[in-house]
Amino acid sequence: MLYFIIKRVGLMVLTMLVTSVILFLVLEINIESLAVKVLGQFSTDTQRQLWLENNGYFRPVYIRYFEWLARILQGDFGRSVVFQEEVGVLLWPRLARTGLLAGLVLAITIPISLIFGILAGMKEGSFQDRSVSVFCIITTSVPEFCSATLISWIFVFSLKWLPGTSSMITGFRWAELVLPVMVLVIYDFGYIARMTRASMAEVMQSQYIRTAHLKGLPFRHVVLRHGLRNALIAPFTVIMLQIPWLFSGVIVTEYFFAYKGIGTLLLDASLRHDVFLIEAITLVAVFVAVSTQALSDIGYMYLNPKIRFT
């Protein structure tokens, strides 16, 4: 078990190193283009050459990479070209806001999805199974910008119950989180529920469940004691995979509601060619993705004892 954990952590570190090399080569190998992005397209050749020389960009690539990596490990991501602030000053508050949004979405989505998925999988082919399946397909097939528009029309313009933006200009307000959380829950709900339903339906058809039925055990006892734990193995992996999406894939929702999270920051950095900000956000997003994948594998090992001895 310890070897498995060490192996997963080693793969996570290796993935981060490979990603950092690719990111550095893509964004900083062409120093002339980098100088244009930093100084602007109206800068002169003399200004660009002077900036490149002062910042050591005429040295070998491998030396620049290891110095860049050392600064990254120390938390120094450089200075934002557009916002003229240290990248860390911009990054960490935005990451915390997206973390709050993601935490609320997961706290609501997971129990609802598991309950509906289990109810559908318990009676495969029944009316409740088909109803849940149809509802899940509808919610996952509607893009976030469509559901955001519909929900805003209902709760902002028609009922006038909620604010239409989540920019928190006047300070933190829970009411401004309701709409973006609602949009993400509606979109994300179907994936977990459908996976739970499929896993539960498969478990309910297994031999040990049939044996429990033949022994005369109550249906509720069979579901809770014998079926539920095995049925939750596959949804656990899906839930863990939703975390990277919630941290880096919520650009549409955050931009629609003007929520100052990591998604809108990445969009602004990409549109304005803010190289150092893009590098920082990309590395953080990859770290979240590989770390959650490692935790998913370790958690899967604990949920499924069979693979502990493979």
What is the DSSP code (8-state) at residue 217?
-
- Backbone region of residue 85 per phi and psi (left: phi > 0; alpha: psi in -120 to 50; beta: other values): beta
pLDDT digits (tens, 9 = 90+) for 84-107: 899 999 999 999 999 999 999 999
In this predicted structure, the answer to whether residue 300 has a pLDDT above a threshold of 80 is: no
Task: Point out which residues pair with 79 in neighbouring strands.
Answer: 86
pLDDT digits (tens, 9 = 90+) for 132-177: 889 988 888 888 889 899 999 999 999 889 998 888 887 888 899 9
User: Are the CB atoms for 159 and 83 separated by under 8 Å?
Assistant: no
pLDDT digits (tens, 9 = 90+) for 4-35: 677 778 888 888 999 999 999 998 888 888 88
Section 59-71 average pLDDT: 92
Model confidence at 309, pLDDT cuts 50, 70, 90, reads very low
- Give the model's pLDDT for residue 304: 66
In this predicted structure, the answer to whether residue 188 has a pLDDT above a threshold of 80 is: yes
- Backbone region of residue 56 per phi and psi (left: phi > 0; alpha: psi in -120 to 50; beta: other values): left
Section 105-124 average pLDDT: 88
In this predicted structure, the answer to whether residue 131 has a pLDDT above a threshold of 70 is: yes
Q: In whole angstroms, how large is the CA radius of gyration of the chain?
A: 24
Give how far the C-alpha of residue 123 lies from the chain's centroid of Cα atoms, to the nearest Å.
32
In this predicted structure, the answer to whether residue 310 has a pLDDT above a threshold of 60 is: no
What is the DSSP code (8-state) at residue 272?
T
pLDDT digits (tens, 9 = 90+) for 28-57: 888 888 888 888 888 888 999 999 998 889
- Give the model's pLDDT for residue 21: 93
- Give the model's pLDDT for residue 204: 77
Model confidence at 242, pLDDT cuts 50, 70, 90, reads confident
Of 297, 300, 296, 285, the closest CA to residue 16 belongs to 285
Model confidence at 308, pLDDT cuts 50, 70, 90, reads low
Residue type, 199: S
- Give the model's pLDDT for residue 153: 93
- DSSP output for the chain: -HHHHHHHHHHHHHHHHHHHHHHHHHHHS-HHHHHHHHH-TT--HHHHHHHHHHTTTTS-HHHHHHHHHHHHHTT---B-TTT-SBHHHHHHHHHHHHHHHHHHHHHHHHHHHHHHHHHHHHTTTSHHHHHHHHHHHHHHHS-HHHHHHHHHIIIIIIS--S-S----TTS--THHHHHHHHHHHHHHHHHHHHHHHHHHHHHHTSHHHHHHHHTT--HHHIIIIIIHHHHTHHHHHHHHHHHHHHHHS-HHHHHHTT--SHHHHHHHHHHTT-HHHHHHHHHHHHHHHHHHHHHHHHHHHHH-GGGGG-
- Give the model's pLDDT for residue 100: 92
Task: Point out which residues pair with 86 in neighbouring strands.
Answer: 79
